[in-house]
């Protein structure tokens, strides 16, 4: 199995679920995941944010706020299947967020209401599968009321209805006051069939420390799960030194994937911060390899 770190677009196009998971694992903590909001205008007119993130070295692309029943990307030409189009343009695996909203709980502020195409259901999962989505993030945007308990229920459904990778967890509270680094819940995600879990990068969510996260990461990996360390608190628009520190901390705790979120201008990570994160966790050779390669390879 070829490391995702060393793959060309033609290698990735041939991957199924298990091959993609193994290629991430084989990259030994040197995989970058970039996230963008598709309901906002792109950072640079005429280029999708997905293309921009790939150009600066992201290996995995997440399209946040995509409605699977009306899959439009602002600033992108209308097409029947934008997932397939983005995969063709970037040569990267493409994922989306589907949100397990917990209707039994009240959020701390005004709740954001989601369309059916952004919530987890058998129908939305089947539609994601039909669109060719490579991985799903069972997580919550701010003030949506997604809970760890609702994520547990969603995992079993996703494993049954979807044939790509399933990642589960929270990057922040999503409007609730519960802990997002709950060891029992995170380990249960793997037991229920998730391929990986999301854990906030140290220094993003208050109280998330290396000594707290590292033992949990080790237990998740012992169960065969991947760990995605997330920057989902708008610190993706912080200075580059801060982002580099996140990346090195992720390495110390044992993360497999370095996620960088969509909370900056243009609703994508600052391109300079993608570059800073990439240089910190894998150096110039692999960073420039990803930036320089053609999607025709």
Enter the pTM of the model. Answer: 0.96
| DSSP string over 1-19 | ---GGG--HHHHHT--HHH
* Residue 225 phi, psi dihedral angles, 5° rounding: -95, 155
Question: What is the token pair recorded at 110?
Answer: 């005004």
Q: Are 267 and 239 in contact (CB under 8 A)?
A: no
- 185 burial class (0-12, 13-18, 19+ CB within 10 angstroms)? buried
State how far the Cα of 261 lies from the Cα of 211, in Å rounded to an integer: 24
| For range 249-268, the mean pLDDT | 96
Residues 6 or more apart whose CB falls under 8 angstroms from that of 2 comprise 11, 23, 26
Q: Of the candidates 283, 260, 292, 243, which has an alpha carbon nearest to the alpha carbon of residue 55?
A: 292
State how far the Cα of 122 lies from the Cα of 153, in Å rounded to an integer: 12
Q: Are 136 and 96 in contact (CB under 8 A)?
A: yes
Q: Considering the chain, what is the average pLDDT of its residues?
A: 95
The highest-level CATH class for domain 27-292 is: alpha beta
Secondary structure (3-state) at 296:
coil
Q: Which residue has the higher pLDDT, 95 or 178?
A: 95
pLDDT in tens, 99-120: 999 888 777 777 888 899 999 9
| For range 226-242, the mean pLDDT | 97
pLDDT in tens, 261-296: 999 999 999 999 999 999 999 999 999 999 999 999
**Taking the mean position of all CA atoms in its chain, how far away is CA 136?**
8
pLDDT in tens, 128-148: 999 999 999 999 988 888 999
- Side-chain half-sphere exposure of 289, counting CA atoms within 13 A: 13
Residues 6 or more apart whose CB falls under 8 angstroms from that of 206 comprise none
Q: Per-domain residue ranges for the chain?
A: 27-292
pLDDT value at 220 more than 90: yes
């Amino acid at each position: 199995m070829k490391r995702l770190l060393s793959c060309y677009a033609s290698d990735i196009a041939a991957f199924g679920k298990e091959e993609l998971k193994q290629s991430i694992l084989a990259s030994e903590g040197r995989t970058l995941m970039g996230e963008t909001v598709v309901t906002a205008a792109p950072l640079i007119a005429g280029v999708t944010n997905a293309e921009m993130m790939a150009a600066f070295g992201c290996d995995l692309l997440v399209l946040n706020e995509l409605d699977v029943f009306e899959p439009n990307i602002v600033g992108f030409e209308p097409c029947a299947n934008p997932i397939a189009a983005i995969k063709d343009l970037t040569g990267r695996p493409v994922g989306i967020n589907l949100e397990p909203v917990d209707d039994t709980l009240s959020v701390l502020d005004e709740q954001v209401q989601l369309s059916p195409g952004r919530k987890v259901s058998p129908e939305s999962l089947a539609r994601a599968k039909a669109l060719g989505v490579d991985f799903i993030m069972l997580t919550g945007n701010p003030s949506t009321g997604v809970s760890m308990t609702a994520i547990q229920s969603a995992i079993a459904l996703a494993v049954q209805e979807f044939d790509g990778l399933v990642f589960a967890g929270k990057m922040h509270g999503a409007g609730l006051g519960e802990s997002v680094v709950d060891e029992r819940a995170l380990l249960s995600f793997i037991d229920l069939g998730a391929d990986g879990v999301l854990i906030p990068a140290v220094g993003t969510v208050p109280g998330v420390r290396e000594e707290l996260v590292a033992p949990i990461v080790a237990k998740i990996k012992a169960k065969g799960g991947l760990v995605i360390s997330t920057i989902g608190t708008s610190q993706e628009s912080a200075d580059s030194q801060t982002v580099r520190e996140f990346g090195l901390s992720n390495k110390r705790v044992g993360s497999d994937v370095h996620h960088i979120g969509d909370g900056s201008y243009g609703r994508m990570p600052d391109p300079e911060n993608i570059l800073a994160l990439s240089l910190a966790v894998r150096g110039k050779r692999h960073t420039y390899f990803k930036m320089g390669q053609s999607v025709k390879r």
